[in-house]
Amino acid sequence: MIGILDLQGGVVEHLGHFKRLGVPARRVKTLEELDTLTGLVLPGGESTCLGRLLRIFGLDAAIRRRAAAGLHMWGTCAGTILLANEIEGETPHLRLLDITVRRNAFGSQLDSFNTVATVPEVAPKPVPLTFIRAPVITRVGPGVRVLLEVRGATAAVTAPGILATIFHPELTPTLAFHAYFARQCGLTPLLPASGPTDPAWSPEAWTQLAPLPGPAASG
C-alpha cells in the first residue's frame, strides 16, 4: 500500500494516478496510518505549511523512524523540500535526503511552465513535466543519483528508498513516475495499453476523487 500525506497540497491527483495503475493507495493523516505502508508520497503544496503541520501532529519523527525501517519515500516539489538535508537560508524539515534545495528557484507562480523531457530510467519515451513555483536541487550528496536535469538545474534524483522530483507528474497524463515509484516499493503497476501515459486524463480528472461536501448545517 502506498500512502499520500494528506495534510495540504496535491493529494487526490496522486491517488488518481495510482488508481489508473491498479496500485493500492490511500490518504495518510495519522501516525497509525503509517504502519501498513510500503511507500509514502509527500505531495506538492506549501512546504512551510506542510513542515509545520508535520511537527504539530508528530508525523515528522514518525516518518523519519519509518524511513529508517525501510519505508520508501517520494517527494514532489514541496515534498522534495521536506526531504532535503539542507534548504538554502532556511531550517530543514525531515533531513532524509542528502541534497540542498533552493525554494522558488524558477521564479514566482507566473513563471510556472510545462516542458517535455526524456528520463531513460523512468520511461523509454519523452514525458510531459509541469513546474509550478518549483524549487531547484543545488547540491547532490554521495549516494544520490541524478535522473533528470532541466534548464541546467537538477530536477529529479533518487537514492536508496527515496525519489525526489521538483515537478508535478500527477498534473500531467504521464503515469511513468508513479509506476517507477511503485516498482521501487516492490509493487507491480498495471500500465494501460497506451503505455506510460493515459490519453483519457484531463486536468479535471482529479475531481472524481475529491471528498464530497458534507450535509448543510441547519440553524
Catalytic residue among 14, 93, 168, 178: 168
Cell of 112: 510556472
* Domains of the chain, residue spans: 2-209
pLDDT of residue 197: 73
72 a catalytic residue: no
- The per-residue pLDDT of the chain, averaged, comes to 88
Alpha-carbon span 42 to 81, nearest angstrom: 10
90 a catalytic residue: no
Alpha-carbon span 162 to 181, nearest angstrom: 9
46 a catalytic residue: no
Listed as ranges, residues in the chain with pLDDT below 70 are 107-111, 192-195, 199, 202-219
Rg (CA), the chain: 17
pLDDT of residue 110: 60
- CA 199 to chain centroid: 22
Alpha-carbon span 127 to 105, nearest angstrom: 22
Cell of 68: 529508517
Going by the DSSP 8-state scheme, the letter that residue 211 receives in this structure is P
Q: Is the pTM of this model over 0.85?
A: yes
Q: Under CATH, which architecture does the 2-209 domain have?
A: 3-Layer(aba) Sandwich (3.40)
Express each pLDDT in 91-143 by its tens digit.
999 999 999 999 877 766 666 788 999 999 999 889 999 998 889 999 999 99
Nearest residue to 37 (alpha-carbon basis) of 62, 17, 13, 58: 62
**Residue 45, C-beta contacts closer than 8 angstroms, at least 6 positions apart:** 7, 8, 9, 10, 77, 78, 79
Catalytic residue among 13, 33, 86, 170: 170
Catalytic residue among 77, 86, 93, 178: 77
